Chains A and B, each alone.
Chain A
Amino acid sequence: MSDGRPGAADEPRGGHAPHLIRIFAIWAVLSAIAGPLFYLLVGPHLPPGHMTSAASGDAWDLNVVTTMAIIVVLGVWTYFGYCLVTWRSSRVVGEPVVGRWGRGNLLVQTSWITITTLAVMGLFVFGTIELIVPAGAGGGEGPNPVWTPHTKNPLVVQVIAQQWLFTYRYPSFGGFETTQLILPDHTAIAFHVTSLDVIHDFWAYQLGVKADANPDYDNVAYTTTQQLGHFVVRCDELCGIWHGAMFDYGSIVPKAKFLSWATASENRLAPVTKLLPPFAWTYTPSANGAGGGFYPACATGQVTNCDPFGNVATYGGAAKQSAHETA
């Protein structure tokens, strides 16, 4: 402070060092126990699990962030606890004597700022790598994704949200539409999420995938399946009174089983698929279609990239073909 106050008293008796050492020691011991314990024992079981590459990445990220958080929280709690016990009024005789560092200490302040800045920058670099390397970490990347899986031919699954259910279209299999979400194992999946009415959110919890479903908008999220099993799909954006009931279940099955299911569904649903609007990335409600007649945006000429099988029909090209041939 610069307002020329009288010279402050000298440092109080005893110095700072013993207290600092004690606090640091308590913190170091607590962190050395709690940090690794959490990372090794709890960490591997953290949500959302390991069903897909995105889920694994998110769970590991959560583990690292939580371990760091435990260490930081323990540090602050140790400090506060130590101060509250050591310097509670019943233990301190007389008024505290303020030394020359009572109003601020350049070393303490710059150290604090430096350490927090380094921690934040480290976290930022870590988060960015974890975002980019696993192809967007399962988050919706919008219609022009920049972080994509290495494979060139992910299985495209279109997620169509409406009040209050999800349906799924498989453009590689004739664009049939179903309420069942079945995915093949060890396959890169591209979810194309869109909505027919209000904003919903496609949250496939165990897949580590979350993408808003916006009307007139194609929101793409990637992941690669790596375990068989069932998963929950919930709507994660408030979409009206039945939002809480907007959930269903999906499964990851072996590739062969998926192919037979998809092919069978394609054939079984072919008469219905003919009645559906042609596959498109988004579907615009028709102004004249009272009662919910939905027409693809490409029919109105507003969207140019709506070639229904332009870059999506290649999933498992050979395999699918052979399945057909076998059939």
Chain B
Amino acid sequence: MAIRTTATHDLGTPGELPPEGVARARNRSPWLDFHVGTALVGAVAGFVIGHYIGVLIAGHDINVDNNGQNNVAICLSLGFGYLGWMAGIGGWNYPLAKMIGREPVGELPSSHWSRYFKYTLDHKVVGLQYVIGVLLFLFTGGLLAMGIRTELLNPVHHIIGPDRYIELVSEHGTVMMMMATSIVIGPLGNWLTPLMIGSRRMAFPRIEAFSFWTFIGGYMIILTAMPFGGFPTGWTGYAPLQTQASGGMDSYLCGFAVIGLGMITAGFNIAATVIHYRAPGMTWSRIPILTWSLLSTTSLLMFATPVLVMAGLFGILDRTALTAFYVNEHGGSSFLWEDLFWFFGHPEVYIMALPGFGIVGEMLPVFTRKPLFAYRVGAAGMIGVALLSFFVWQHHLFDSGINPDMRPLFMLTTELISIPTGFIYLVGMGTLWRSKIRFEVPMLFALALYFNFLIGGITGVYLSDVPVDVTVHGSFFVLAHFHYTIMGGLVFAFFGGIYYWWPKMTGKMLNKTLAKLHFWIMFIFFNFTFFPLLIVGLLGQPRRVFEYAHNLQGLNDFSSVSAYILGSSFLIFVWNFVWSTWINPVPAPANPWGSRGLEWQTPTPVPYWNFERIPVILSDPYRYGEPDPPPVADLGVPIGAAAAAQSFAAEVQLGLDEPGGSFRG
């Protein structure tokens, strides 16, 4: 069957509205519509309503009278606040209109800058919204980290104090973990996936917008923990401390439930897009390695996150309806939370690793002018990591008193996961072999990932080995280990990705000198911050303490000062971001790095529809170093007879039935 490469004028908007829906779209000032301002009003209104209902329901409960803390009111105010936030942004308009049988109002393609403050259906706008969103998370968490390092300047003298300190630790951990689950999936996953697979849209544009505004809703909810008195449990939220904690714990539980909703929806949207919206010829062996990494990540988001959401709801019930899921003396079990949390939590740490592998996999061929080595092994490695990650969670509980028979098994599964992770090194090392390495800024970040993640991965082996784990479990060693994997891996990859794709996303180059300065300060002081903490942990400093042994002050102070410089390196990034985007923008060429990736074959800025016609993919994007490689795709625009002939050949050869080639309602 022939491939239909539909032209623009035959299509509706990315929100798949039929023409009559578009016709009814309101054409008036963009600020008279739903936007972030109305969302804030909705959130406040929802918060007040929820609180009022909570007081009405539980205001006179004996336990509320006893401790003066109405968890029902807090949870309901946060829940209603979230609903109000989504109502205010216009998130319920479409489903509500459908429910009452009305044709929803559509969205017209808009180029007004107000679209960045709205519930919008263009994946490129949502991607950029996510960039700002995750940076907001990252910098909030980073400032909290500065507070933590300040308290740890002295082993006994308190600058912040134990109570505020534990709030900072918990808030930092939770904010950063929430950020890290979405830092690549959100911005780059949403922005790039359709462009990389030759689609004009995401599978579910409304779900995509929903996931972003839910993500921001979660950010606001977790911040409310501070005025509610914080929570003392760290990001792991262990019960029964959780059950005992003050009102900030409700923000933690509700925040994770809301963020979890955003993660699940973002996950299945990207998975559905990759599976169903690939352009003709975009076979499974041609999709970019980043798409493979996102696909494996989405499988974790979809299958692991629901466990967290449900575990959080059990916690909310324990604290509001006085159930006893996690209360030992009433028949519950504190192990239940530990198991449920880590059943989510360990796949989650791979949610925070796999996208980074995908990003460096995209960059290496471009900056070495060689094909990606062992592409299939790399893709298989990511799937292997994703599968195995569901069978390792009990290594967090090696000393907790779980059935000891299970220990060798979980030691084995945890160590096995280093085999598929090692594939990523095979891919990188094979690609570097006899190449031509250009040390552009994104490449520096990619190489830094290999440097940092090696230390993060090797120290992970220490933790999987039960006898060594007896010493290092729960110490600063663990903390340094996962900062090496998450920050050293994922966050470095994210910044590399931003420097790499920013010219395509905005049409503006980021300043190279500032970028290199940012990279070197970040790289050196990241290692200066966290390497000493590996030693501090080995020397016996437990995590999350505000007092420590005198002999460890030198290393702690070195780490703290390095952390301040590490933190300030982000100011260079922010300045570069502002300077190069708004103050002194330098227009970017359409393909500044000379990439063969499909996303770079589009004009800059990328048109609303991404592609004039659905492209026909002719080869995978990594065919560097060949004397006469074929074009990566036939983009359907007049580009000469040769490409047309190839397109025809591909059509005949593939005989596909328009996967993603048309819009279906």
Contact = CB atoms under 8 A, between A and B. Distances in A.
B436 A89 contact: yes
A132 B466 CA distance: 10
Contacts of B238: 198-199, 237-238
Given A1-B285, A96-B368, A238-B238, A141 B404 contact: yes
Interface string A145-163: 1110000000000000000
A191 to B, nearest CB: 11
B590 to A, nearest CB: 21
Interface string B536-551: 0011101111111100
A108 B429 CA distance: 11
Given A87-B436, A242-B162, A232 B371 contact: no
A63 to B, nearest CB: 10
B437 A84 contact: yes
B447 interface: yes
Interface stretch (A98-106, A168-176, A250-258): A98-106
Nearest to A47: B538
Contacts of A177: none
B465 A65 contact: yes
A112 to B, nearest CB: 5
Contacts of A136: 404
Interface majority SS (helix, strand, loop, mixed), chain A: mixed
Contacts of A232: 540, 549
A127 B395 CA distance: 13
Interface stretch (A113-121, A269-277, A314-322): A113-121
A128 B400 contact: no
A73 to B, nearest CB: 6
Contacts of B458: 69, 72-73
Which one of B234, B285, B398 has the highest number of Cβ atoms from chain A below 10 Å of its Cβ? B398
A76 B454 contact: yes
Interface in B353-392: 368-377
Interface string A273-310: 00000000000110100000000000000000000000
A186 interface: no
Nearest to A79: B429
Which one of B283, B371, B429, B465 has the highest number of Cβ atoms from chain A below 10 Å of its Cβ? B465
A96 B434 CA distance: 7
Contact of A112 (B370, B422, B471, B622): B422
Contacts of B549: 232
A326 interface: no
Interface residues of B, number: 100
Given A5-B623, A215-B334, A244 B162 contact: yes
A140 B402 CA distance: 8
A60 B31 CA distance: 67
B474 A210 contact: yes
Contact of A124 (B329, B411, B454, B462): B411
Contacts of B434: 12, 16, 19, 87, 96
Contacts of B468: 58, 61-62, 65, 127
B28 to A, nearest CB: 50
B620 A137 contact: no
Contact of B401 (A58, A203, A214): A214
Given A109-B426, A120-B416, A57 B162 contact: no
Given A96-B625, A112-B422, A214 B335 contact: yes
Interface string A1-42: 111011011001000100100000000000000000000000
B403 interface: yes
A3 B419 contact: no
A209 B401 CA distance: 13
A264 interface: no
Interface of A: 1-3, 5-6, 8-9, 12, 16, 19, 46-48, 54, 57-59, 61-62, 65-66, 69, 72-73, 76-77, 79-80, 83-84, 87-89, 92, 95-98, 102-105, 108-109, 112-113, 116-117, 120, 123-124, 127-128, 130-132, 134, 136-147, 193, 197-199, 201, 203, 205, 208-212, 214-217, 219, 232, 234-245, 247, 284-285, 287
